[in-house]
Amino acid sequence: MFHLNVRHLLLQQRISSLTDIAFNPEMGWTSCIILFLCVSVCESWPLPDTEPLMHGVVQSPQYPQPYPPNLQEQWDLSVPEGYQIRLTFTHLDIEASAGCYYDALTVLYDTNILGKFCGHENLADGHHPGNQPILSPGNRLTLMFQSDDNNPERHQNVGFSAQYQAIDMDECSAPEPEDGSGPLCSQICFNTLGSYLCSCHHGYELRADQRSCVLSCGGGIFDETEGHLFSPGYPNPPHHAVSCQYIISVESGFTVVLNFTDNFHIESMDTEQGPNCLHHWLQVTTSDREPMKLCGGKSPGLIVTNSNTVRLDYHTDNEGLSKGWSLDYSTYRVKCPLPGNVAKGRVTPILTEYFYRDYIYVRCDQGYKLMMGGQEVEGFSTMCQSSGQWHLPLPECHIIDCGEPEPLLNGGLTFLSGFQYQYRSVVQYHCNEPFYSLLGGITVVFTCEADRKWRSNSDIVVSPTCIPVCGQPTKLISAYQRIIGGSHAPEDTIPWQVLLNIDGGRGGGMVIGDRWIMTAAHNVMNKGNQVSEETVRIYMGLTDVKTQLDSPVYAASVHVHPEYNNPINVDYNHDIALIKLQDPITFNSSIMPICLPAEGATYITGVMGLVSGFGVTETGGRRILTNKMNYVQLPVVEQETCSKSITSLKKTRDNVPSLSNNMFCAGVPEGGQDSCQGDSGGPYALRDNGRFWAAGIVSWGVDCGKQGTYGVYTRVTNYMDWINKTMQEN
């Protein structure tokens, strides 16, 4: 039971210091002790089979009768550990002999004889213990009693009676063992019943050996954002060697700064290389740096560790003297490098320093886009990480471009400023002059805007269009001559003239649009039926039939005026037809359209018009079909005059067609100049304001160039509605 109590005391002492060792690596040991405590208190301590007695009585045999002879008796007394035995004789009467040779009581501790007794207290020559008790050095004691065989009747000695008692041993006052193992307790020793306890002075703590004391280092983990640390006993030097560890550990993303006070002293050895922290040192260890050993008499001052975990190991040995150190530590958010600038962009917010968890954003200037790793990104932000690095590198701002502007048919564009269709580039559309001009005639400038679209300078022109220039050949005929009595047309002077080959028959026509040819209805009618468009071949751009025949243009559809009805060639009213081409024509100096009549265009008698064709010409009095384009200038004839000439013709001939208001005449009364067969469908062009317009279509006549007759032409101005409608609907 005493053992148990003692242990219990020990445990309480350990437990009371548990809070101090909360972060102690001996944690496991501590919990083991707690478990042990539980076992020892909650369950009954298993008692040994023979519980050591705490006291007792030893008597010689037959006491208080005289002891018999020839005895050899032994008593092994024992008491619990940590106790001594005190033996006190109440009576001793043993036959006396020199040196207690015959009868004797011997008291032994192991093999050490503590006393050999005989005689009785009144006998001078005996060895009587008297009243003095005998103390055993340990918890055992052996008593041996012997008697010999002579004269038992004469000697009536009663033997002995002794009491023994367990006496608590004062381990603390025991002398220091001579084996050099040091004192029982290095600092304070408490004697307890059957045992002892070591304890330490303030500022020290008991080591695991339960004997020695070490300076309490106040170690453990410091996880507050700031704190104060100092060496044991600071500012006084400790009496003993110390080996202390302090760990400062804060959240990642924070960095610890140590601020040592001026009063700093750690013994250093002077070597040739300067002070050396050989025996005493304070080592500062961070995760990513070489450990740093500090010593000497000068305070290191401020140490920026750039780490969120710092370990301090303070080491001194028993020699030398270090007064120690003290420091305040504080923590800062990890700093990221300044992000720098982005060309053509803006980094926000602008701060003098950026710390862990700070965000920055990048926006590009107007007209620039965010690029990361070659990819365009919608937006950009990056955070300062706990590592002190931005989690993304800065993006770049690249100028936007609007892509290639819409191409312009029969036109193009030029850069007025900028290049590669980039932001703020300005392009101007133009048409291929002089064959095309911009619809509306205004200059169209497009700018690449920040929304990556090309924007027009004009609200009206959303997309430019090139329209063909009509009626303005690049070359003009200087002197007009005649077809019958006309002349070969120089190249490019009548670029709207086309040659039709329909079922082998030859006719004329004129270009009025990039897909349209206008001709006479009778060219595309055969015995009252419209010819199939497959039989139509159109030649244009050259003045010589021979060269033209290589490259015909094909018709997509043929449109005869619906009222044209001339099965037997006596009624040329509405002699007008349109041919739609399969492919649009690109105009150039050889092929250009003639203008259609403007609203209100008039035929003024006597005004010269230009007739052209590949028809019959007169050469040296013979009429032959020409292979060259010919032209003649003929005046508009008054309708009345023409009508009279036809009326008079009708008198002499049969089947002379009638003149209608959809026709007009051109020619000279004396004859000699006219259009003729093969010229049918060709143009009669009047010129207004420098532009030729299609006033008439070569339709019919009686003979060619005969005196008193005129050529009759379809009056195109009467058909504008039909022309517009047909061209729109097809």
152's CB contacts (< 8 A; 6+ apart) are 66, 68, 69
Please, which residue, 158 or 585, has the CB nearer to ligand NAG?
Answer: 585
- Asked whether residue 262 is marked as a ligand-binding residue, the answer is no
Distance (Å, rounded) from C-alpha 382 to C-alpha 361? Answer: 7
Q: What is the DSSP string of 366-386?
A: TTEEEEETTEEES-EEEEB-T
Tell me how far, at minimum, the Cβ of 551 lies from ligand NAG, in Å.
6
Residues 498-527 close enough to bind ligand NAG by CB under 6 A: none
Tell me how far, at minimum, the Cβ of 586 lies from ligand NAG, in Å.
6
Distance (Å, rounded) from C-alpha 200 to C-alpha 211? Answer: 9
Alpha helices for 463-569 (secondary structure H) = 545-548
279 belongs to the catalytic site: no
575 belongs to the catalytic site: yes
Residue 462 tokens, joined: 């959303």
Distance (Å, rounded) from C-alpha 314 to C-alpha 291? Answer: 13
Tell me how far, at minimum, the Cβ of 547 lies from ligand NAG, in Å.
10
- Asked whether residue 688 is marked as a ligand-binding residue, the answer is no
223 belongs to the catalytic site: no
Distance (Å, rounded) from C-alpha 494 to C-alpha 475? Answer: 8
- Asked whether residue 168 is marked as a ligand-binding residue, the answer is yes
Please report whether residue 263 would count as binding ligand NAG according to CB under 6 A. no
Mask 325-354, x = binds ligand NAG (CB under 6 A)? Answer: ---x--------------------------
Please, which residue, 384 or 470, has the CB nearer to ligand NAG?
Answer: 470
Please, which residue, 364 or 494, has the CB nearer to ligand NAG?
Answer: 494
Residue 234 tokens, joined: 């600071």
Distance (Å, rounded) from C-alpha 519 to C-alpha 496? Answer: 12
Please report whether residue 410 would count as binding ligand NAG according to CB under 6 A. no
Please report whether residue 720 would count as binding ligand NAG according to CB under 6 A. yes
Distance (Å, rounded) from C-alpha 715 to C-alpha 697? Answer: 7
Find the binder of ligand NAG among 27, 113, 302, 625 (CB under 6 A). 302
132's CB contacts (< 8 A; 6+ apart) are none
What phi, psi does 398 have (nearest 5°)? -110, 145
- Asked whether residue 449 is marked as a ligand-binding residue, the answer is no
Please report whether residue 261 would count as binding ligand NAG according to CB under 6 A. yes
**Nearest residue to 186 (alpha-carbon basis) of 166, 168, 206, 170:** 206
Please report whether residue 259 would count as binding ligand NAG according to CB under 6 A. yes
AA identity, residue 729: E
C-alpha to C-alpha distances, 92 to 130, 141, 284, 376, nearest whole angstrom: 9, 18, 75, 115
Applying CB under 6 A, the site for ligand NAG has a residue count of 14
**Whether the bond into 235 is cis, omega within 30 of 0:** yes
Tell me how far, at minimum, the Cβ of 360 lies from ligand NAG, in Å.
27
- Asked whether residue 654 is marked as a ligand-binding residue, the answer is no
Q: What is the DSSP string of 583-613?
A: SPPPP-SS--PPBPPPTT----TT-EEEEEE
How many other CB atoms are found less than 10 A from the CB of residue 609? 23
- Asked whether residue 267 is marked as a ligand-binding residue, the answer is yes
Catalytic residue among 514, 575, 674, 679: 575
Residues 551-610 close enough to bind ligand NAG by CB under 6 A: 586, 588-591, 599
User: For residues 69 and 147, is the Cβ–Cβ distance under 8 A?
Assistant: yes
Please, which residue, 501 or 589, has the CB nearer to ligand NAG?
Answer: 589
Please, which residue, 306 or 590, has the CB nearer to ligand NAG?
Answer: 590
Please, which residue, 654 or 721, has the CB nearer to ligand NAG?
Answer: 721
Please report whether residue 272 would count as binding ligand NAG according to CB under 6 A. no
Please report whether residue 547 would count as binding ligand NAG according to CB under 6 A. no
User: For residues 85 and 77, is the Cβ–Cβ distance under 8 A?
Assistant: yes
Catalytic residue among 155, 265, 398, 522: 522
Tell me how far, at minimum, the Cβ of 690 lies from ligand NAG, in Å.
18
Tell me how far, at minimum, the Cβ of 344 lies from ligand NAG, in Å.
40
Distance (Å, rounded) from C-alpha 306 to C-alpha 334? Answer: 7
Find the binder of ligand NAG among 43, 49, 654, 721 (CB under 6 A). 721
Please, which residue, 330 or 605, has the CB nearer to ligand NAG?
Answer: 330
Tell me how far, at minimum, the Cβ of 543 lies from ligand NAG, in Å.
12
Distance (Å, rounded) from C-alpha 693 to C-alpha 192? Answer: 139
Residues in the site for ligand NAG, rule: CB under 6 A? Answer: 259, 261, 302, 328, 541, 586, 588-591, 599, 720-721, 724
Give catalytic residue positions: 522, 575, 680
* Residue list, annotated binding site: 95, 103, 148, 168, 171, 191, 267, 317
